[in-house]
Structure 1
Amino acid sequence: MLHKLKMLLVTVLVVVFGSLALAGCGGEKQESGNDGDIQGVTAGQNAQNTEKESAADLFAKGQKIEGMTCDYVLTASGTTMQGKMWVQGDKVKHETSAQGEKVIMLFDGSAFYMYNPAQNMALKYTKKDLPGGSEEVDTPFDFTEEASDGLITELETVDLEGHKCRVLLVQEKDSKDEVKMWVREDYGIPVRVEASDENGGKTVMEYKNVEVGALPASTFALPEGVQVQDISDMMSQLQQGAGN
């Protein structure tokens, strides 16, 4: 579970630095708040807990969602990154900013594209080229998909930013890592995930302004006329040059 948050961090970093490579060094800033405890209002008494659906049923509800859009704030190691995310099936789009320029990551199910609209250029990565060796782009749905395999403890039910959420603690089976999730009761997806490792490190992912529903195919496609540079081809040319 902690691995999921780390790979999300890698994905966002790739978006930023991939775009800077395109631009040759080239959102708005908002306060995400600290990553401490959420100020929630406990909803309901313990007697009502017996009427709640199980965690497995709650997670299954989220797995049925066809597509979603949300803003995200990722905080790790004293660094905060923020942007927007679109998800549908195995297709994902991230949008953030680097040095004042919009940068976009697209995953169309088979390849990654780091797109800089200002330069009208994109870098293409295959899965093997992505830093960290990731075989997928993680999304909010992946947290609950893996959580069913761990030890889940329900802590409370709170109101978070106007939405009723169940707070669940997931303990990793083979380590002391823990993940705390605020899962929306209506959608069955986490809107805040806190991961703590055995060394005391903490990574926090927040999903805000969530909207669910099918997305048009054009959401995950590059605009026409974008110049695409294939990282695999670039690396091959560099290796050939070094060999000569």
Structure 2
Amino acid sequence: MIEKIKIGLNNLYLFKNKNNEYLLLDTGINVKNKGILKKLIQKIGDVKKIKVIVLSHSHADHVGNLKMLIDEIGDIRVIAHKNSENVLETGKSVIPNGFYPFTKKISKKLKTKKNFSKNIFPKLEKTDMEKVIFIDFLQQEKIFLSEYGFGNMEIIETKGYSDDSVSIEVFDEKNNEKYLFCGNLVQNLCFKFPLIPLFGENKEELIENWKKIILNGYDKIFPATGKELVVRDLIRRLGKNEKNRI
């Protein structure tokens, strides 16, 4: 079972295994005091059923409630890209570059503001950091979640939007379909085509990962922002990107 939770503009996802345990993808922005707890309780009853939290990347609107959830749940494992370690320790969020002319200006302006990104979300304490498993992809292309009780799920590296971006592959046995939960690698708002994100670290690397997604042939793609899409939507958007040289 897969459930979506809306926190601001972001989609969080809950995955249920056969043991009635849950994996949560991302934690949302820290704006309303424990507002996410209310939504989680409405969905699953007891937040202690959540055994694993995976972070798609370490921007503040995705890790903002991590500290609070660790405190509430207690017995939890957090899985994050190794490049997110410093951000989680300090609570200092990264200001990404802009991928479009107007977002480049916004990014440049924000980076000149003193302490804009300092302590933008609660940092993790030493005891919290002990619950985080930092993963890299030097020796393997996928991280299997079977050892955490989620045998139909794998983590893959999908950099470009950030240097610590990961996505979750899910195989739906019931429907014999393969899904990708891709964080902000793709944004799908109110436009005709899904967006190359407004902000990010490396546009060329992001586009290369879009191409890998297309080749992998996922049946559905679930972004952190916007509605689900299919591979042909990415193909059409890439074609438009090449034509207009955005």
Normalising by structure 2, we get a TM-score of 0.24
Normalising by structure 1, we get a TM-score of 0.24
Instruction: Give 1 or 2: higher helix fraction.
Output: 2
Larger RCO, structures 1/2 (Cα 8 Å, 6+ apart): 1
Q: Which structure would you say has the larger Rg?
A: 1
Instruction: Give 1 or 2: higher strand fraction.
Output: 1
